[in-house]
Chains A and B, each alone.
Chain A
Amino acid sequence: MSAVAHPIVDHNVPPGEPPHIHHMDTTTAYGAAKLGMWLFLGTEILLFAVMFCSFAIMRYYHLGEFHDASKHLNLWAGGFNTIVLLISSFTAAVAVTKAQKGDNAGVVKNFGFSLVCGLIFLCVKGYEYSEKARHGMFPFVWNSDFYHYKNFLGLYFCMSGLHALHVIIGMALLYWYGIRPAMRGRFSGKYYTPVELGALYWHLVDLIWIYLFPLLYLVG
């Protein structure tokens, strides 16, 4: 009668079988999990929405600063990172199809590729940050030659930094909920919820970068 004997969600099932959930059939559980994920993604979008709103209002008041400061960002690094994230999003989407077909090795390969792309993205981002640090382009440094770019640089570091944090979290999710169980043959056409939800998170990371790239690097 303990919680261990009758857990609400029992994952102790053969590979490929959905977990046993009390008073809920598989399709309902799948739909509920996806709805919950979308609700969470909504809060993530709203988290970034505050920053996009700040960006809009600061750009409105400091248009000249934003135009000049955005030219100091490395367009090649930003463009390369955009392509890397788009390709990683593609492989994450393919991983879901693989999981639906019961191809666990395909999930490992495609999520693994996305994970490596995330790592490349972070390395390029780290290079960009170090370049900015080398030139003293940090916001709110009084004696910096770039102090007059403080509004743009403050938003640049906040937005891209928060996005990079999401890349790191996304990589952890892809490994923990996708690659690791897939290596044990956990997924099948009947059960692939964690793969789909992990991929949804990764697509959100891509989605936010789709807006960040033109705003920060191109039009300022």
Chain B
Amino acid sequence: MAHSQSHSHGHEEIGHVVPESTFLKVLIALLVLTVITVLAAKVDMGKWNIVGALVIASIKASLVIAIFMHGKYENKIIWTYILIPFILLAIMIGGVFTDDPFRDHPQPFGAQAEQAAPAAPAAPAAAHH
């Protein structure tokens, strides 16, 4: 209470002031990470290309949220609000991938009907007879 009173009547700032030099360091880190992403994409690592790109992107996103968006200085309620959308995104992508690829449709979304034709009639044919 006394803390908030002094904020209301005093002349100091109500939020955390981050020095500009900190922002500059983060910007340089972000630019270096961007160059690393582009260079890493030139090397063919198969499946690991997208994993690496997403890991680097997530490091960059964490830096932006923690420093540029003042996340580092926020309380637990705001952190709950920050994390919930990412948790929901993970649940959605996880849910779709544990469902769709395991269904019996090797050629989904009506793509290449002629290719799907030899394989597809097997199951329905049995059901009809």
Q: Which residues of A contact B (CB under 8 A)?
A: 25-28, 30, 34-35, 38-39, 41-43, 45-46, 49-50, 52-53, 56-57, 60-62, 75, 79, 82-83, 86-87, 89-90, 92-94, 96-97, 100-101, 189-190, 192, 196, 199-200, 203, 206-207, 210-211, 213-215, 218-219
Please indicate the chain A residues that have their CB under 8 angstroms from the CB of B86 in the complex: 45
The prevalent SS among residues of B at the interface is: helix
B4 touches A203 (CB 8 A): no
Residues of chain B whose beta carbon lies under 8 Å from any beta carbon of chain A: 4, 7-8, 11-15, 17-20, 23-24, 26-27, 30-31, 34, 37-38, 41, 49-50, 53-54, 56-57, 60-61, 64-65, 67-70, 74, 77-78, 81-82, 84-86, 88-89, 92-93, 96-97, 100-101, 108-109, 111
Which residues on B sit within 8 Å (CB–CB) of A94?
20, 23
| Residue on A nearest B69 in the bound complex, by CB | A203
A-B contact pairs, 26 of them (CB 8 A): A26-B7, A27-B4, A30-B15, A35-B78, A35-B81, A38-B82, A42-B85, A46-B85, A49-B88, A56-B96, A57-B96, A57-B97, A57-B100, A75-B38, A82-B34, A90-B27, A101-B17, A199-B69, A200-B69, A214-B37, A214-B56, A214-B57, A218-B38, A218-B53, A219-B41, A219-B49
The CA-CA distance from A189 to B7 in the complex, in Å, is 10
Cα–Cα distance between A46 and B7 once the two chains are bound (Å): 35
B78 lies within 8 A of A38 (CB): yes
Number of A-B residue pairs at CB separation under 8 A: 144
User: Which residues of chain A are within 8 angstroms of B30 by Cβ–Cβ distance?
Assistant: 86
Shortest beta-carbon contacts, A-B, top 9: A218-B41, A214-B53, A45-B85, A189-B13, A49-B89, A90-B27, A38-B81, A42-B85, A93-B68
Take A38-B82, A203-B69 as given contacts and tell me if A189 and B64 are in contact as well, using a CB distance cutoff of 8 Å.
no
Assembled-state Cα–Cα distance A94/B18 (Å): 9
Tell me the bound Cα distance from A26 to B100 in angstroms. 50
